[in-house]
Structure formats: C-alpha cells, structure tokens
Amino acid sequence: MPTTGLDTVIGANTTASDPQGAANHFAKGLECEKAGDRLGAIAHYRQAVDRDPKASHSFRLAFMLDLVGEEDEAMELYLRLVQLPEPHVNALINLAVLHEDRGEMHEAERCLRKVLEAKPNHARARLFMRDVSASKEALYDEGDQRDEAKRKAELDTPVTDFELSVRSRNCLKKMNIRTLRDLLMITKAELLSYKNFGETSLSEIETMLAQRGLRLGEGLDQGYVARAAKEYIDQLAQRVDAGVLSRPVSAMELSVRARRALQLLAVQTIGELAARTEAELMGVKNFGQNSLEEIKRKLADMGLGLRELE
C-alpha cells in the first residue's frame, strides 16, 4: 500500500491540535479492530481524526465505516482523501467499489482510471475496471440485460439438476459446490486436490460444462475472484490486525520461486495471499511442495493460513 501523502492533513477547516492524543486513539482503534470490536474502533478513529485529521487516520475511519454499512460517511471521507495532491490509491479503489454498488459506473470508472494512470499494472484496479466496464456496457443495452438475466438463472441452477454420477455429486456437495456458478469458480487443480475426486469425475464434469459452452475456472476470468477475495479478507479483518493483511507480500521475504508464483497470481498483499487455496498455488507452473510449506510457515507466524475449501 502506498504511503505517499499519508501524513497530509485533509480537513480543510480543521487544525491538528493534539497529534499525540490522536496517535493514542489510533492505536486503541487498531486494538479494537484486532479484537473484532468495529464500533469501538470507529469511536477511537473519530477521536484520532478530530485531534489530527491526517490521511492515515481518515482512511482507517472510512474503511471501518464502510465495513459496518455507513457508506455515506465513508464516501465523504474517501472523497477528501482522493482530492489530495497525490490521491490515496486504496481510497480511490474503495470509493470505486462503493460507486459501483450504487450503479454509478461513470464515477467508479473515473476513480479506477486515476489509479491506472499512476500505476498501469495495479492488479486490483485492473480487475475492478473490467467489472465496471462490463457493467457499464450492460446499462446501455437492454438486450444484453435480458441475456444477463437468463445467464444468471442458468448459473444459479443446482448441480444436482445435471446428469452426474453419485460420486461426483457427493464430492461437489462436500466441497460446498451447490450451483453451476460455484463450479465455474473452481479450478481443475482444486477439484483434483479433494479426497476421492479422480480423473473420471473430472472428465464427467468437464464434458457436462463443454456441452453448455462453459469450462472450469471460467468465473475467475471475469473478476469474481477479486470480490471473493475481498469478502474473505474482510472476514479475516475481524480477527486479525488489518495492518498485517494490507502489508505487501514482499515483507514476508519469500524465496525467488515463491515470489514468482505470487506475481503470476497477481497477489500483492498478505491478505490476498491468505485468501488463496493450496490448490491455486500448486496450480502455478514450477511451484512445488517446498514453496507451499514455506508460505504456510510464514503465514502461520502471523496467525494466518491459506483459505480452505469447505
């Protein structure tokens, strides 16, 4: 996460009167976050902003308000942050997500363009931009909207409606794969990594999908993985220091092979890494068991682990 501009005071009519008091409240807010007390964290972050309204305090307050559903106030704070001479990158991305949720696609696109102008290869911004572009196009074409509704209904079809063997259906049920949409969000490597799931079941499922013009993992190409990861990271933030989750994976001092695998998966933060499964990592070319164990050890040292399939 960029740090440029984090010490900038963002309140136009406020004065930084008690930096030490603000720092104390900010630290207490982080403690409340770690304990899962979001409302307590918000109360302390408000005190920090009142005493010293610099960007680092305001962003944390906005982020927590966003998590508890106080979108209007969160947006107001994000808007101040993105108006800095060097806009806060994560504030721009979070603001874009809020705009998208409200159907304000032009505003969401504008926020993401600002990020990509400064950082053309920013993975999260590129993923969200694809989502926004797709949504924007749908708004202008009623025919596309009808097709999308039909597609959604198809994706919500239970996998039990398809002609699959008992073994395949049982494995999918144990993996919590209930609908066709769930099936498109899982990779071949993840299926094969599950106990008792073999090549015969895999072939059966791939044939069924091919008959419908679909394939395993297709949903991951459409930006859904970014949203799923965000939801999982938000859940982790209830029990783990959010500051740890937002740290770059470079801070883990991983081996060259492990770092390259994470680059291929566009994993930039520790939270994004924890949102991945063992199968996703093992599916990367030249990524072996030693690298997997290395990553698991590093995450365990921080009280984290890789996401497990239910």
Query: What pLDDT digit, counting tens, does each position of 149-172 carry?
Result: 666 677 778 888 888 888 888 888
Measure the CA–CA gap between 241 and 218, rounded to whole angstroms.
33
pLDDT above 90 for 37: yes
Mean of the per-residue pLDDT values of the chain: 80
Query: Which pLDDT does position 13 carry in this prediction?
Result: 43
- Please say if the pLDDT value at position 274 is more than 80: yes
Task: With cut-offs at 50, 70 and 90, classify the pLDDT of residue 178.
Answer: confident
Confidence (pLDDT) at 14: 46
- All structural domains of the chain with their residue ranges: 19-139, 143-220, 223-301
Looking at residue 24, its pLDDT comes to 94
Identical fold for domains 19-139 and 223-301, yes or no, is no
Helices marked H in the chain: 19-34, 38-51, 55-67, 71-82, 89-101, 105-118, 123-139, 142-155, 166-174, 180-184, 188-193, 199-210, 224-236, 242-245, 256-264, 270-274, 278-282, 289-301
- How far is residue 198's CA from residue 196's CA, in Å, rounded to a whole number? 6
pLDDT tens-digit readout, 124-151: 888 888 887 777 665 555 554 565 566 6
Phi, psi of 18 (to 5 degrees): -145, 70
Q: What pTM value is reported for the model? A: 0.41
The CATH code of the domain at 143-220 is: 1.10.150.20
**Protein fold of 223-301:** DNA polymerase; domain 1 (1.10.150)
Q: Which amino acid is at 147?
A: D
Q: What is the pLDDT at residue 164? A: 86
The residue with tokens 């005071």 is 9
Please give the Cα distance from 217 to 7 (Å, whole number).
Answer: 42
Six token digits for residue 231: 């939801």
- Max distance between CA atoms of the chain, in angstroms, equals 69
Fold for domain 19-139? 1.25.40
DSSP letter, residue 220: G
